[in-house]
Structure formats: C-alpha cells, structure tokens
C-alpha cells in the first residue's frame, strides 16, 4: 500500500488507496509522503517529526507524485520538504526532520488507564451485536477496508451520535506485513493517526463525520516520533480535543505501545464548519 516507485531524481509515485470513498484519505498521503522522505534520506537517519498541511482534496483512484527537496543536512539531522501532487494540483506539503539515534536525558508520560485490549475487544463485539446488521453501519464498513485494524475502548461514544466528552482511546495495529523497510512502521503509524482522530473535536457537539450539518476536513497534521514503533503490534492512541472554535477543532494524542511505552505524539487541526440549512 505504501510502496513507492521512483520516477526521476527526487520524485516518487504512490499508488492510490483501497476502496474507501472517492476522496484521497489524508492518512494515506501522510504515510506515502513520509516514505518518500525516507527514500530520499540515505545516511541512516530516521524521521523524528513531520508537519503537514492539506492544501486541496485529492482523488482516491488517482496516483500521487511526491517531490522531495532536501532543505538541509548535518551530522545528526536532515530536513526535507515533500510536495504531493495529483495532475496539476498540489494536495499536500510536508516538512520532515530525520535524526540519527543517540542517547541522552529521557523521561516520558505513562499510558492512561483505559482498560486492557481484551476487554476492549469484548466490549466492541457486544456493541456490534447490539447494532443488528453491522455491515449496514457506514463507519464499520469503512474501517473494515482500512489496512489498520482498530478496536475502540468505547465504541458507543466514538461511533454514536450523542454528545460525549472530547476524548477517545483506540487500539490500532497494521494488518499488513511491515518487514524491515526503513521508516515503514513510522509510515503505518502516520496512516493510523488520521483515522477517527478528528472525532475528538466533534464528540461534545453530537456530530460525527458524514453529518450533513457540518463540513469536515483535515487542515494540518503533525507527528513527533519518540522511538521506532513496531506497528505490527497493538498500540493505543489516546486522544483529546482541548479546544474548538472559529469553525476549527484541535486534537492532540499520544501513541503508546501495549507495554505502556510512549511511542509518538500527534496533533491535528480540522475544519468543522456548521452548514447553513
């Protein structure tokens, strides 16, 4: 899914995503843009941060060209700009900073207590049974097509339409073999970070993606990688929205490995404009 094909110096083509709507999924573009930066990086450094702006909607059925420009390189850090283009339209621009691993002072937050994975899986199964024909629920059909397996800690609040506090906890892992391709596990995490995340800002207002009353899209997205994840294993994304206003919502979150290790921090701002009736 995230494998790229070189098409000239500093440029790669990414294949379209699979079967989820007509619009290019933002997480797909994030992940492929990150892989393009990893392809350009040849000195053993790995991404420790990315900052992306979504510039225009893309089409899911069309390939994307990723043009990479090196902005600077030193012994420890290298920085890149990645521009994602479909046809003559630029859909995303991203800056990526990569670093050689080194030691030093360290501390980290611990994972929140949201219950274990087995309990979340059992609760999800019970909720699915209560919904009758589960395949008719658009959000479940959508998630089943994703390359990321997802188990929410609280499915009724995340998928229902009643107002809830602006926080969520979701277990995630890749359905695909990751292998030892440099940066691939980071790219899988980047893909996963855009699934369901903006719901944190919508939860208090009783609306969800797909609600005709609200225009919703991602505006920008940032990730800081604290260590190399193994995204073939389960990770918990604990998210929270501290603010929404002026037709925008802000969400922040942390990825934790199943043993509680803090792996990455994510922030995203999204459009959430009320549509006049």
273: CATH? 3.10.129.10
Ramachandran category for residue 134: left, alpha or beta (phi over 0 → left; psi -120 to 50 → alpha): alpha
Q: Which residue among 75, 101, 127 closes a domain?
A: 101
Last residue in a domain, options 44, 67, 101:
101
pTM of the model: 0.94
Residue 163 CB contacts under 8 Å (≥ 6 apart), including other chains: 203, 204, 205, 206
pLDDT of residue 257: 98
If asked whether residues 95 and 192 sit together in one domain, one would say no
In a domain, 267, yes or no: yes
Residue 108 lies in a domain: no
> Which pLDDT score is estimated for 136?
47
Does residue 42 have a pLDDT over 90? no
Q: Are residues 255 and 186 in the same domain?
A: yes
**Residue 74 pLDDT greater than 70, yes or no:** yes
Give the C-alpha separation, 38 to 42, whole Å: 8
What confidence score (pLDDT) does residue 178 get? Answer: 84
Percent of the chain with pLDDT over 90: 78
C-alpha distances (whole Å) from 224 to each of 12, 229, 262, 271 are 24, 12, 11, 22
Domain boundary among 42, 74, 101: 101
Average pLDDT value for residue range 41-65? 95
Q: What is the pLDDT of residue 134?
A: 53
For the cut 50, the answer to whether the pLDDT of residue 63 exceeds it is yes
Residue 211 inside a domain? The answer is yes
Q: Is the domain of 80 the same as that of 120?
A: no
Among the ranges given (105-114, 139-148, 266-275), the one the predictor scored with the smallest mean pLDDT: 139-148
**pLDDT above 70: percentage of residues in the chain:** 94
Instruction: Please indicate, yes or no, whether residues 38 and 167 belong to a single structural domain of this protein.
Output: no
147 and 221 both lie in a single domain: yes
Q: Could you tell me if 241 and 126 lie in one domain?
A: yes
Mean pLDDT of 209-227: 94
**23 pairs with which residues across the strands?**
59
Q: In this predicted structure, what is the pLDDT of residue 4?
A: 96
| Same domain membership, residue 132 and residue 81 | no
- Least confident range from 73-77, 136-140, 153-157, 273-277: namely 136-140
Asked if residue 77 and residue 56 are part of one domain, the reply reads yes
Output the six-digit token pair for 82. 């990645």
Query: By residue range, what is the domain housing residue 130?
Result: 114-277
Spell 223-250 as b/e; 16+ CB within 10 A means b: bebbeebbbeebbbbbbbbeebeeeebb
Max mean pLDDT range (13-17, 18-22, 242-246): 242-246
- Look at residue 106 and tell me if it is in a domain: no
- pLDDT at position 131 over 80: no
Does residue 107 belong to any structural domain of this protein?
A: no
Q: Domain check: are 47 and 147 in the same one?
A: no
- The number of folded domains in the chain is 2
Same domain assignment for residues 186 and 86: no
| pLDDT band at residue 142 under the 50/70/90 scheme | low
4 or 177, greater pLDDT = 4
Residues 139, 191 share a domain: yes
User: Is 240 found in the same domain as 128?
Assistant: yes
């Amino acid at each position: 899914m995230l494998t790229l094909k070189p098409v000239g110096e500093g440029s790669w083509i990414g294949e379209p995503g699979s079967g989820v709507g007509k619009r290019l999924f933002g997480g797909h573009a994030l992940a492929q843009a990150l892989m393009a930066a990893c392809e350009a990086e040849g000195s053993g450094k790995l991404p420790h941060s990315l900052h992306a702006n979504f510039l225009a909607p893309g089409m899911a059925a069309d390939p994307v060209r990723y043009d990479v420009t090196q902005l600077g390189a030193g012994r420890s850090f290298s920085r890149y700009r990645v521009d994602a283009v479909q046809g003559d339209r630029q859909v995303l621009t991203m800056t990526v900073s990569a670093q050689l691993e080194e030691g030093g002072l360290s501390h980290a937050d611990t994972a929140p207590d949201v219950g274990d994975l087995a309990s979340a899986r059992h609760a999800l199964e019970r909720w699915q049974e209560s919904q009758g024909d589960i395949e008719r629920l658009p959000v479940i059909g959508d998630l089943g097509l994703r390359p990321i397996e997802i188990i929410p800690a609280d499915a009724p609040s995340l998928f229902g339409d009643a107002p809830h506090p602006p926080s969520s906890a979701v277990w995630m892992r890749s359905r695909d073999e990751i292998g030892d391709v440099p940066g691939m596990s980071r790219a899988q995490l980047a893909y996963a970070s855009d699934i369901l995340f903006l719901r944190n800002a919508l939860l208090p207002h009783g609306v969800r993606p797909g609600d005709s009353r609200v225009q919703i899209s991602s505006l920008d997205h940032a990730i800081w990688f604290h260590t190399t994840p193994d995204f073939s294993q389960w990770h918990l994304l604990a998210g929270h929205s501290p603010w929404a206003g002026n037709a925008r919502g802000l969400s922040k979150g942390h990825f934790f490995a199943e043993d509680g290790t803090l792996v990455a921090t994510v922030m995203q701002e999204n459009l959430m404009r009320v549509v006049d009736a």
